[in-house]
Structure 1
Amino acid sequence: MERFIIYRRVSTRKQGDSGLGLEAQDRDVSIFLESYAEVPFEVIGTFTDVESGSKADRPELTKALELARKEGATILVAKLDRISRSVAFIATLLEDKRVGLRVAAMPYADKFQLHIYAALAEQEREFISKRTKAALAEAKARGVKLGGLRQRTAEANKVAAVQADLRANKIAPTINERRKAGATYQAIADEFNTLGVTTARGGKWHPTTVKNAEARLA
């Protein structure tokens, strides 16, 4: 019987207190346990951190890993970035033979696939960060004052629009192929969410966001 230790993470205390973010993680984990886990299974613990995913010294994660090594259990997370945003940390964890790792949003992914996905996600975050800094530098060079809240919001919206355009171009082949095959916007959104593909803002896909991405391609 496989035993699971559920690990959840939110980035801010506000999210932790309100449950915002935790409900979505709980939902994904429940779907995995109900649809993909081998029966019988047992959940022997649940741990939650309110910390940035870039930090490796998270107290609840440390407890979860210690329990996993002691009991020979599997760490179960909703998405890979809940365990860490560092590809080095994930690679080290995947090499630990005393700890198993399963990701609810990628129920069939093996360790090699998880490592590849972590590396690609880290590259994308690094590129987005550099692209955002470049866009703000260009705005400053044009004489735009970035100190005011309204101006910062406007610039952030411009950057978000650029990111949305780039993401739309990146996923264009998938959307076109699925639409030609008769897939609905809902079906495409479900596929993206299952694979752990996020929107330009890092959120979940919905029929409207798929349709908007398709419109951007046009």
Structure 2
Amino acid sequence: MQYVIYTRVSTEDQGKSGLGLEAQQRDIDIFLANFSEVPYEILGQFQDVLSGSDNERPELLKALALARKTGAELLVAKLDRLSRKVSFIASLMDDKKVKLRVAQMPMADKFQLHIYAALAEQERTFISERTKAALRAAKNRGVKLGGLRDATMKRNVAIQERANGEAQRLIKVIGPLRQAGQSLAKIAETLNDMAIAAPRGGTWSAIQVSRVIDRA
């Protein structure tokens, strides 16, 4: 089985539990370990930091092009990471060259995914209206808005800086191993043998090694 992995996060999503890049990669790792046919091969990994309402995301277009060319399944953690628009999801369902797999719904077929996308869009519309109503009510009470968002943005920047620093530290070990021709899986095995902790704890996997290389 061959996969093309796509992840997406917007600036707003960075601080939301379950939508961050690490959470998406965790779900993808779980799918590959427990639900994928074996052996499997990752042909490419693509990542956008853009809104899900933008369907012209450059890395998404690359991922779709590779999936169409190779016949590999396009693997995403959640359906809304691919797009928040039902119309876009529907167009992919109709594309005979695109095989879609959602990690959080490993057994879902195209029809089920389409229904889920429609229900999710309806829910987001209601949540948006509810949020607007709550903000209007808060403003009428004299509450100053914006402070929480500023704090969240600062926290997200700090998280990214720590992740970048960790990647720079780890690449000093991973870089030479990669240059020596070791595969990602072999590097992961070496790091585990050396008792070097993986980011956020746990053991190393090939995908985690790839993420460090990309970030560094």
TM-score range, shorter chain: 0.5 to 0.7
Give the counterpart letter for 1:52 in structure 2: S
Match of 2:64 in 1: 65
* Structure 1 residues 146-157: aligned runs within 5 Å: 146-147=143-144, 149=146
Q: Distance in 2 between matches of 1:122 and 1:93?
A: 16
**Please, which runs of 5 or more residues in structure 2 have no aligned partner?**
150-216
Higher mean C-alpha displacement, 129-138 vs 48-57: 129-138
Does residue 144 in structure 1 map to residue 123 in structure 2? no
Alpha-carbon deviation of 1:135?
A: 3.0
Q: Are residues 24 and 138 of structure 1, via their aligned partners in 2, closer, same or farther at CA, if it must alter by over 3 Å?
A: closer
Structure 2 distance, partners of 1:113, 1:13, is 28
Quote the residue 1:37 is aligned against: 36
- CA positional deviation for 1:133: 1.9
Structure 2 CA distance for aligned equivalents of residues 45 and 67 of structure 1: 8
1:40: how far off? 2.0
For residues 166-197 of structure 1, what are the alpha-carbon distances to aligned partners after superposition, in whole Å with 9 as ceiling and x for unaligned?
A: xxxxxxxxxxxxxxxxxxxxxxxxxxxxxxxx
Equivalence for 2:117: 118
Displacement after TM superposition at 1:88 (Å): 0.8
Q: TM-score, normalised by structure 1?
A: 0.61
Q: CA RMSD in A?
A: 2.4
Paired with 1:52 and 1:101, the residues of 2 have a C-alpha distance of 20
> Alignment partner of 1:8: what SS?
strand
2-side partners of 1:10 and 1:139: how far apart? 28
1:7 aligns with 6
Call closer, same or farther: CA 1:14–1:75 in 2, change over 3 Å.
Answer: closer
Normalised to the residue count of structure 2, the TM-score between the two structures is 0.62
**What is the identity, as a one-letter code, of the residue corresponding to 2:90?**
A
Amino acid at match of 2:114: H
Q: Provide the identity percentage.
A: 64
Cα distance in structure 2, aligned partners of 1:72 and 1:11: 28
The 8 Å contact of residues 13 and 20 in structure 2, kept in 1 or not, is answered as: no
Superposed, 1:1-218 pairs within 5 Å as 2-12=1-11, 15=14, 21-140=20-139, 143-147=140-144, 149=146
Aligned counterparts of 2:135 and 2:42: Cα–Cα separation in 1? 47
Amino acid corresponding to residue 108 of structure 2 in structure 1: A
| Matched letter for residue 144 of structure 1 | R
CA distance in 2, matches of 1:87, 1:104: 19
Q: Counterpart amino acid of 1:69?
A: R
2:4–2:67 CA contact under 8 A, matched in 1: yes
Aligned pairs, how many? 146
How far 1:38 moved relative to its partner? 1.1
Query: Are the aligned partners of 1:13 and 1:50 in contact in 2 as well (CA < 8 Å)?
Result: no
Does the residue aligned with 2:107 lie in a helix, a strand or coil?
Answer: coil
